[in-house]
Amino acid sequence: MLQVKLITMIKLTGLLAALFLFGCVTTEVETKKPNEIFTPLTVSDPGFSVPAGTHIAWYSEGIRFYKDPRIDNVGLKTMIDNTIVSVLSGQGYQLSLDVDNADYLLGYAAALESALNSDSVLLQYGLMYGYGVKDPLDEKATFVLYLLDGKTKRPVWKSMVQGAFNFNDSNSVRAPRIMRIIKEMFSTLKPREKEAVK
């Protein structure tokens, strides 16, 4: 009798895991430039999109910028924050600090491998990327953006990219790259255009 119950519980657990996995949609958007490939990995609820005009608030508790003594932390974080504001505003979203009245809450994580390795990314954000750094002078960097439902605080959209962080690059060199990456990540929020019926 105990064995039958155990087998039933194992089957039920497997079914729930399958339902969870099939209940998510994964999207990859690839941007190729000379010597660099950024492919954001995006996971969301099926059919999830955010129309222009939606109110998105900064979720201060969910912003994780892992400081590193080898880089200009203040300059880099400011650049990321300003780029997020610029991209979201350009796509027609309303970004504010009003958490109580927001449709969605926005958080992010930005870190080098030494502060946030792939196992930690998987554990904390449920995302696996698998990027490998080839140049020994570079370090792998991870950037995760995510949205929570404003009422339930449930994650509804996550996007992650990993790449090589070059310590010799100036912030002026990094700025266009960060803009390009964040644009690609947020591009998956837009409602998809329906194909014309023939």
What's the confidence (pLDDT) of residue 38? 67
Walk me through the domains of the chain, giving residue ranges and CATH numbers.
Answer: 24-189 (3.30.160)
Identify the burial level of 181 via C-beta atoms within 10 angstroms of its C-beta, where 0-12 means exposed, 13-18 middle and 19 or more buried. buried
What's the confidence (pLDDT) of residue 84? 97
DSSP summary character for residue 105 = E
Task: Write the pLDDT tens digit of every residue in 91-109.
Answer: 999 998 899 999 999 999 9
Bridge partners, residue 148, by sequence: 105, 155
Contact 38, 180 (CB under 8 A): yes
Which ranges of the chain have pLDDT less than 50?
1-35, 195-198
What's the confidence (pLDDT) of residue 192? 61
As a whole number of angstroms, the distance between CA 147 and CA 149 comes to: 7
Contact 141, 163 (CB under 8 A): yes
Nearest by Cα to 32 from 187, 186, 181: 181
Give the count of alpha carbons within 13 A of 136, CB side only. 0
pTM across the whole model: 0.76
- The set of long-range contacts for 63-69, using a CB threshold of 8 Å and a minimum separation of 24, is 63/107, 63/108, 63/109, 64/107, 64/108, 64/109, 64/110, 64/111, 65/108, 65/109, 65/110, 65/111, 66/109, 66/110, 66/111, 66/112, 66/115, 66/116, 68/112, 68/114, 68/115
Task: Write the pLDDT tens digit of every residue in 23-57.
Answer: 444 444 444 443 455 678 899 988 899 999 999 99
